């Protein structure tokens, strides 16, 4: 078995992994970024919507931005429309082309000095005296032992890396959203607006979305609660019914499937010699399913903390806890708020959802953010949303 040594091994070349690798390499570390698939950014398992907050991390580039979104239409089960628009777009401001975006981020990591290796899969971790000291990997059919001072698990919702290190990453069915999505063309769109559809017959314990991707194309998808997903009620079945109803003449150009963690942030994201970032650490808003911005934030923090820890010669859990402290301070409250809201709102009946939408009829909320919408709803429906108000305020 071949052996090699690195300062850091990052497992997974999604946004969180690539940003972590870039930040660590910029501070002089020898970084290896591995990706089990043969091409970074493929397959796409994402609705591809992201807020304009992305501009904090990267300069917008027309190569990986398909459309700019100026607002959102939310449809209640009975069809009542709620309009959100304004300068602040917390959830969807751009619709990305993830195939290109993920490659762009990986290229940035490579330019900073990180080595990238595709078709390389982590098979286990090397342990010594309670510390993670590297990984066992399979690259092009060849087994390797890659020693490292720190291993970064950016391996998505499955997060085998975290599980190998003893971190509790198991998810219950109620903690996930099972998603299906079509890239569709030749459909009529409300250009400039993302659209969301609620209702138990459309997407139980979830929602359907239509995100414009330019011209007459859009990502049309939905997610349903993992605890209501079964053989006769699959996400793909709900999606086919939704598309048949709204875009019967549309053409399906691609199909995408995946799972999104909606559990709220993981209890611990670090161990001796190891850090988890992005979906692996459950850095996803449990109410909306959005996670790209949190992945970029977590990656930037992780890369900085790992670099300092390696330079100091201390990669203990206690030293790496700086990462957890910082990400919880930056966006942990958003995730906790989203979890509380999800637990309440996902259990409302279609009739309750219609009532909430009716209360906003004719009102244009000048801020596309989860918090702004929730506060407006609580103010207008104090009795119905008393339970939500108690956990949020």
CATH number of the domain at 109, please: 3.50.50.60
Nearest residue to 273 via CA among 303, 306, 311, 316: 316
CA triplet 336, 169, 165: central angle to 5 degrees? 125
DSSP state for residue 106 in the 8-state scheme:
H
Query: Is 107 within the bounds of a domain?
Result: yes
Which residues in the chain show pLDDT less than 70?
86-92, 364-369
Q: What is the pLDDT of residue 262?
A: 96
H helix or E strand, kind and range, residue 104: helix 98-112
- Number of H helices and number of E strands within the chain? 10, 19
Q: What is the pLDDT of residues 234-266, one digit of tens each?
A: 999 999 999 999 999 999 999 999 999 999 999
- Round to whole Å and give the CA distance between 337 and 380: 19
Q: What is the pLDDT of residue 364?
A: 66
Rounded to 10 degrees, the C-alpha dihedral 324/325/327/330 comes to 170
4 three-state secondary structure = strand
Query: Is 382 within the bounds of a domain?
Result: no
Nearest residue to 17 via CA among 100, 99, 105, 101: 105
- Round to whole Å and give the CA distance between 217 and 95: 12
Query: Is 124 within the bounds of a domain?
Result: yes
Q: What is the pLDDT of residue 232?
A: 83
Q: What are phi and psi of 65, to 5 degrees?
A: -110, 115
- Round to whole Å and give the CA distance between 4 and 144: 8
Query: Is 211 within the bounds of a domain?
Result: no
**How many structural domains are present in the chain?**
1
- Round to whole Å and give the CA distance between 217 and 342: 30
Q: What is the pLDDT of residue 231?
A: 86
Q: What is the pLDDT of residue 251?
A: 97
Q: What is the pLDDT of residue 90?
A: 54
Query: Is 313 within the bounds of a domain?
Result: yes
- Round to whole Å and give the CA distance between 46 and 280: 15
Q: What is the pLDDT of residue 46?
A: 83
Q: What is the pLDDT of residue 91?
A: 55
Q: Which residues pair with 31 in a beta bridge?
A: 8
- Round to whole Å and give the CA distance between 390 and 393: 6
- Round to whole Å and give the CA distance between 177 and 31: 33
Q: What is the pLDDT of residue 215?
A: 85
**Count of residues in the chain:** 393
Question: What pTM did the predictor assign?
Answer: 0.94
Residue ranges making up the domain that contains 277: 2-44+99-172+264-342
- Round to whole Å and give the CA distance between 210 and 199: 15
Neighbour-count burial of 307, counting CB atoms closer than 10 A to its CB (0-12 exposed, 13-18 middle, 19+ buried) = buried
Q: What is the pLDDT of residue 253?
A: 95
- Round to whole Å and give the CA distance between 321 and 327: 10
Query: Is 391 within the bounds of a domain?
Result: no
Query: Is 332 within the bounds of a domain?
Result: yes
Neighbour-count burial of 328, counting CB atoms closer than 10 A to its CB (0-12 exposed, 13-18 middle, 19+ buried) = middle
Q: What is the pLDDT of residues 76-91, one digit of tens each?
A: 999 999 887 765 445 5
* Helical packing angle, 317-327 and 292-312, nearest 10°: 150
Do residues 11 and 34 lie in contact, with contact meaning Cβ atoms separated by under 8 Å?
yes
Do residues 221 and 254 lie in contact, with contact meaning Cβ atoms separated by under 8 Å?
no
Query: Is 225 within the bounds of a domain?
Result: no
Cβ count near 215 (within 10 Å): 12
């Amino acid at each position: 078995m071949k052996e090699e040594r690195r300062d850091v091994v990052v497992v997974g070349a999604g946004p969180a992994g690539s940003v972590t690798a870039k930040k660590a390499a910029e501070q002089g570390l020898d970084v290896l970024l591995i990706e089990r698939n043969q091409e970074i950014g493929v397959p796409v398992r994402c609705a591809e919507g992201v807020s304009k907050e992305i501009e904090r991390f990267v300069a917008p580039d027309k190569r990986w931005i398909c459309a700019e979104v100026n607002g959102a239409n939310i449809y209640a089960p009975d069809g009542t429309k709620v309009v959100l628009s304004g300068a602040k777009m917390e959830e969807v401001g751009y619709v990305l082309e993830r195939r290109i975006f993920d490659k762009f981020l990986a290229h940035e990591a490579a330019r900073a000095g990180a080595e990238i290796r595709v078709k390389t899969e982590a098979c286990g971790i090397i342990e010594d005296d309670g510390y993670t000291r590297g990984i066992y990997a399979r690259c092009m059919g060849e087994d390797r032992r890659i020693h490292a001072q720190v291993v970064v698990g950016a391996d998505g919702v499955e997060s085998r890396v975290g599980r190998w290190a003893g971190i509790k990453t198991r998810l219950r069915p109620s903690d996930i959203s099972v998603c299906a999505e079509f890239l569709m063309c030749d459909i009529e769109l409300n250009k400039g607006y993302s659209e969301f559809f609620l209702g138990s017959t459309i997407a139980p314990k979830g929602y359907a979305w239509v995100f414009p991707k330019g011209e007459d194309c859009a990502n049309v998808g939905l997610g349903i609660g993992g605890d209501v997903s079964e053989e006769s009620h699959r996400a793909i079945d709900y999606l086919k019914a939704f598309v048949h109803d709204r875009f019967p003449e549309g053409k399906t150009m691609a199909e995408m499937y995946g799972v999104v963690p909606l559990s709220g942030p993981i209890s611990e994201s670090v161990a001796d010699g190891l850090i988890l970032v992005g979906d692996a650490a459950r850095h996803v808003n449990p109410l909306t399913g959005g996670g790209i911005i949190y992945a970029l934030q977590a990656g930037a923090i992780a890369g900085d903390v790992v670099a300092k820890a390696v330079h100091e010669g201390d990669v203990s859990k206690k030293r790496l806890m700086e990462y957890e402290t910082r990400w919880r301070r930056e966006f942990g409250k958003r995730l906790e708020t989203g979890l509380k809201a999800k637990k309440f709102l996902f259990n409302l009946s279609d009739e309750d959802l219609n009532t909430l939408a009716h209360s906003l009829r004719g009102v244009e909320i000048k801020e596309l953010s989860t918090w702004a919408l929730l506060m407006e709803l609580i103010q207008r429906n104090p009795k119905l949303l008393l339970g939500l108000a108690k956990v949020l305020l």
